[in-house]
Structure 1
Amino acid sequence: MLPIREIKPKNARTKRYLDDKGPQNVENPRTTLFLRYSSASEIIQLVLKDIHSLKRPLCIKFDKKNTIHPFEDVSSLEFFSDKNDASLMVYASHSKKRPHALTFMRFFDFKVLDMMELLVDVDSFRSLSQFKNAKTAVGLKPLLAFSGSAFESPTANAYTLAKSIFLDLFKGPDVSNVDVEGLQYMIHFSVDEEENESVKPMIHMRCYLIKTKKSGGTLPKVDVEEMGPRIDFRVGRIKEADPEMWKEAMRRPKNLEPKTKKNVETDPIGDKIGRIHMGKQDLGQLQTRKMKGLKRSRDVVDENFDDATEGASEDGGVAVESDKRAKLGE
C-alpha cells in the first residue's frame, strides 16, 4: 500500500483546498500540464503547441525551460503535478540521442504512475496551421478510434500502454449524454503490423473534421476532412506502473459499486435473470385439456385393468372373470 501523507489544515480555507484536492467519489476532469526541456527543437515545440490546442481548456502550458530528465529523476515533475493539481503531463525534449521526443506521464496521488516516450518523425509531420480549413471549437469531445492488432493485444505491451494513455489524454470530462451536433472531429490512431521484431511499427495520429451532408434519405451523408495535426510516432522508452500502485489507482469507492440483489443475476449477454423459489406443487389435481385423440380406444384393454384383475383372481377369480366377460360382451 502507498503511504498516505496527512496534512492537518490550519484554517478553513486550507481545509477546503485539501478537500478539493483529495480523493473524490467522482473525480474532477483531468488537467494536463505541458512542459519543455532546456533544449527543444522547433518541430517538437510545434507538436506540443498542436496537442495543447486539442486539449484546451483542460490544460496548462509552461514556456519556461526546465532541466529535468523524466526517466532519471521525477521529483520535480511530481512537484509540478502537486502544485498545479495535474494528473497528466506531456514533456517535450530534444537531444542527439533522442531527437524530437515527447514523454507522456500519468500521476496517481501526485506520484508518477507510468511513463512513455514517443519520438516524432520529422518527415511526415504536418502542423495544425498547415491545413487551411476550419478548426473545431474549444472544449468539444472528440471521437477516438484505434486501428491495429497491436492495440488489442491480450498481453500488455508498449502499444496497449499508448492506447491507454491516449484515451486518458483526449477523452475529456465524463458525460452521461452527448449531443450529436457536438461530434465535430475525430482523432484516429493506427499502427502497422509488425514485420520485423527488431523494428517496432510506428503509431500514426490523424485528426479529421466530421461533416454531414444531405443524402436524400433519413440518414445524412458523413464526410471526413483532415484537419491536422498529422504526427507519426516511434516508440521509445517506457516505464510501467508498479503493481501495488496500479491496484490502488484502479480501486473504486464502495458507495459507487452497484448493490447486488438476491436471486438476481446478469448473464454474459447482458440479460437480467431472476430466480424464484416456490413450494412443492401437487400435480395430481392439475386440470389438463381434454382431446379426443388422447382418449383410450374401446378395442384396447387397459393394462392397469388387467393387473387389477390378476390380483383379484387369486381370491375370487371366477366371479371377476365372469364380470369382465359380461362387460366385453356389452
Structure 2
Amino acid sequence: MGVIQRVVKPSTQRGKRALEARAPKVIENDKKTLFIHGQKTSPIGRDFLKSIYAFKRINSIYFGRKNPIFPFEEVEKLERLSKLNDTSLFALTTHSKKRPNNVILGRLFNHQVLDMMELGISDWRDLETFCKNKVGAGTKPCILFHGVGFTQSPEYVRLKSLLLDFFRGPQVTNISPAGFELAIQFTMFEGKIFMRCYKILLKKSGVEVPRVELQEIGPSLSFTLRRSKLASDDMLKTACRKPKAVLPKPVKNISKNALGTKLGRIHMTKQHLKDLQVRKTPAIKKAKKDQIQKRKMEKNLANAAKAANLVK
C-alpha cells in the first residue's frame, strides 16, 4: 500500500503568501541564485563569488559558511538547499590541489540539477584593482559573446546558454538608456574564456544620439572548462517547454517569411466581370456611342461591297 502524503495547508497569511510565491505560474518569477562556499575554498574563489554577488544582490542568497557539498559526486544536498530557498541557479566555489581556484556554475529545473559546469579561474583581478566608478546592484547587463568556439562543441554551446541565463538579470519589457550601464563580455580564444566587465558611459556628442564609451570596472579573469554535466535532451525539452497560455494563437491564412514580412491569403468566389456594375459617365456613354456608329458604318460598307459584287 502506498503512503498518502499529507497536504500542507498554511495557517497564517505569511505562509499562504510563501506557498503562492512558489506555486507554478504561467509567467514564472525571476530566477534566484544561490552562492555557496565549499568545504575548502581559496581567496580567489571567495572574491569571485563576492564580485558576482555584487551584481546579483537583489535576487540572490549568499552562504558565507563552509558547506561539505560535492555536486559531481552527490547532488542531494544541493537540491535540498535549492528547494529550501526556492532557487534555480547556483554558484559553488571549491579549492584543491588537483583543481585549484575552482567554481561550479549550474542551474536547476523543478529543484533537480539540469546543467553544471566546473570552471578554473586564472588571471584574477578583483573590483578594487579598477577605478571606483561602479554600477548599481540589479542592473540589467548587456552580454556579449565573441569567438567561434561557443558554437563548435555541444559543451561550449550549453556553457554559453548557462552564462547567459546566469548573468542576464531580471526580465523587463522596457529599458531606459540612462540605466543601461553594464556590459559583460566573454571572449573565447585557444580553449580559454576571458571575462571582462565594463561600465557604459553616455557622453554628449552634439547630436541626439549620445557618444558611447566603455570603462573597465572589473572583475577581470579567465575561465578554463574542467568538467561538465549536461542534461539529457528529454529533460532539456521538458524544462524549455512553454505553457499554451503564453504561446501566440495561430491565425488562419496568415504567415511570415524568413525576413519577417507578414503574408496573407484571401479566399474569394468566382467573379463575373461582365455583370460588374461600373459607374456610367458622359465620357463612357460618348465612347460607347462612337463605337456603335463605327460598327454600323463598317457593316454598311461591307453590305455595299457585297451588293456591288453581285451586280457585276
Same-fold status (TM-score > 0.5): yes
The alignment covers a number of residue pairs equal to 288
2-structure distance, mates of 1:135, 1:259: 44
Secondary structure, counterpart of 2:80 in structure 1: helix
Q: Quick check: 2:55–2:139 contact (8 Å CA) kept in 1?
A: no
> Deviations 1:166-212 (Å, cap 9, x if unpaired)?
111111111111111101111111111x4xxxxxx100000001111
| Match in the other structure for 1:39 | 40
- Maintained 8 Å contact 2:103/2:121: yes
C-alpha distance in structure 2 between counterparts of 1:7 and 1:261, whole Å: 45
Taking a change above 3 Å as real, the CA distance of residues 253 and 324 of structure 1, as seen in their structure-2 partners, is farther
Q: Please name the residue that 2:169 is paired with.
A: 172
Shift of 1:258: 0.7
How many angstroms apart in 2 are the aligned matches of 1:46 and 1:259?
48
Change (3 A) 1:168 1:6: farther
Is 1:219 matched with 2:219? no
How many percent of aligned residue pairs carry the same amino acid? 40
Deviations 1:298-329 (A, max 9, x none): 9xxxxxx9xxxxxxxxxxxxx98952977xxx
Match of 2:57 in 1: 56
* Counterparts of 1:323 and 1:285, CA distance in 2: 37
Q: Summarize deviations over 1:121-179 as a string: whole Å, max 9, x none.
A: 1xx210011112310112211111111112244xx522212211111111111111111
1:277/1:185 CA distance change after superposition, 3 Å: same
Paired position in structure 2 for 1:158: 155
What is the distance in 1 between the residues matched to 2:206 and 2:137? 32
Q: Kindly indicate whether the alpha-carbon contact (under 8 Å) linking 1:41 and 1:94 is maintained by their aligned counterparts in 2.
A: yes
3-state SS of paired residue (2:108): strand
1:323 aligns with 2:306: yes
State the one-letter code of the partner of 1:48.
L
The 1:204/1:6 distance shift into structure 2, 3 A limit, reads farther
Q: How do 1:171-190 residues align onto structure 2 when only pairs under 5 Å count? A: 171-190=168-187
Q: Which residue of 1 aligns with 2:29?
A: 28
RMSD across aligned positions (CA): 2.8
Residue deviations 1:62-121 (CA, integer Å, cap 9, x gap): 011112211010000000000000000000000111111110110000010110011001
Q: Which runs of 5+ in 1 are unaligned?
A: 195-200, 299-304, 306-318
TM-score under structure 1 normalisation?
0.80
Matches within 5 A, 1:116-155: 116-121=117-122, 124-153=123-152
